[in-house]
Amino acid sequence: MENISVDQPAKEGTQENFFTGSVPRNYDTFMGPVLLNPYAQDLVSRVKAKGPLAILELAAGTGRVTKPLLAAMPEANITATDISEDMMEIGKEQITSAQVKWQNVNMMEIPYPDNEFDLVICQFGLIFVPDKAKAVAEMRRVLKPGGQLLFNTWGNMEENPVWHISLQLFRQTFGEMPMPKDMSPFSLPVITPVVALMTEAGFTDASGTEVRKITEVESAAIVAKGFLMTQPSLREKKELYDEMYRKLVKELGEKLGDSPLRSPLLALVFEATK
């Protein structure tokens, strides 16, 4: 059983500090296949426009959406951005196409002109942003008239048991969740308020829909490693890692099975046209 990679403590409540050090590679290795891949394919399948496009991907991270997006639209020019340089370094290793340009961008202050992109796409990124209204307004600003906005968020935590079990163990151990509530994976779990956010930003046809998936993982151990090895709060409490790992493997296996583990997932997908 692997031990957690220990880095310097992250500053509380800062997205860029959460996804640094060993976290990005652990996140990509353990969480990417479990949580991100199923919804990356779904998001790309919803892109309406065809042919050469100017695409802005926000919170591109390690490229879990970038790769299938490029495969589906090989003539597009993709500006893949993230607030974490460390996350993008992994993406750059895996995606070397000249059609993809990587840039460090805070989505609350997108550094591109008005009416620049045909598509703005973002997988599980808005959930971590402190000022979500500002970010959505920025997304609309950089879209061309008629351009498409496409992003997703996680639905209710209780309907994502692989998340729920892991986070409950964290709460039992530390007495708190690993990130502030308004910057957590479950900060936008309901469709109506998010659609209202888009409407307030100026979109006139904003909509949201539930997308349910089943993720299948080789073992409960992989999920346990994925969750524990991406938690900054464990960097200073390494002695708890082994104990939490054993408990989490046991609970995940009992509730979701082992070899393989199968868990329902619920995400919300949002679309709008400028």
DSSP, residue by residue, the chain: -PPPP--SPPPTT-HHHHT-TTHHHHIIIIIIIIIIHHHHHHHHHT----SS-EEEEES-TTTTTHHHHHHH-TT-EEEEEES-HHHHHHHHHH---TTEEEEE--TTS--S-TT-EEEEEEES-GGG-S-HHHHHHHHHHHEEEEEEEEEEEE--GGG-HHHHHHHHHHHHHHSS-SS-GGGSTTSS--HHHHHHHHHHTT-SS-EEEEEEEEEEES-HHHHHHHHHTT-GGGTT-GGGHHHHHHHHHHHHHHHH-SSSEEEEEEEEEEEEE-
pLDDT at 85: 93
Query: pLDDT digit string (tens) for 77-130?
Result: 999 999 999 999 999 999 999 999 999 999 999 999 999 999 999 999 999 999
Query: pLDDT digit string (tens) for 150-188?
Result: 999 999 999 999 999 998 998 888 776 656 666 689 999
**Is residue 177 assigned to a domain?**
no
**Is residue 112 assigned to a domain?**
yes
Into how many domains does the chain fold?
A: 1
**Is residue 245 assigned to a domain?**
no
pLDDT at 163: 92
Report CA dihedral (160, 38, 67, 224) to the nearest 10 degrees: 50
Residue 205 has pLDDT above 70, yes or no: yes
**Is residue 181 assigned to a domain?**
no
Question: Which has more pLDDT, 250 or 33?
Answer: 250
**Is residue 39 assigned to a domain?**
yes
Q: How confident is the model at residue 11 (pLDDT cuts 50, 70, 90)?
A: very low
Of the candidates 271, 149, 264, the one whose C-alpha atom is nearest the C-alpha of residue 214 is: 264
Of the candidates 181, 189, 184, 131, the one whose C-alpha atom is nearest the C-alpha of residue 159 is: 189
* The token pair that represents 88 in the structure block: 């993008």
* The token pair that represents 232 in the structure block: 């900054």
Share of the chain above pLDDT 70, in %: 87
* The token pair that represents 82 in the structure block: 């993230």
**Is residue 233 assigned to a domain?**
no
What's the mean pLDDT when you consider all of the chain?
88
Task: Print the domain residue range for 195.
Answer: 15-158+187-215+266-273
CATH number at residue 53: 3.40.50.150
**Is residue 44 assigned to a domain?**
yes
**Is residue 20 assigned to a domain?**
yes
Residue 71 has pLDDT above 80, yes or no: yes
Residue 9 has pLDDT above 80, yes or no: no
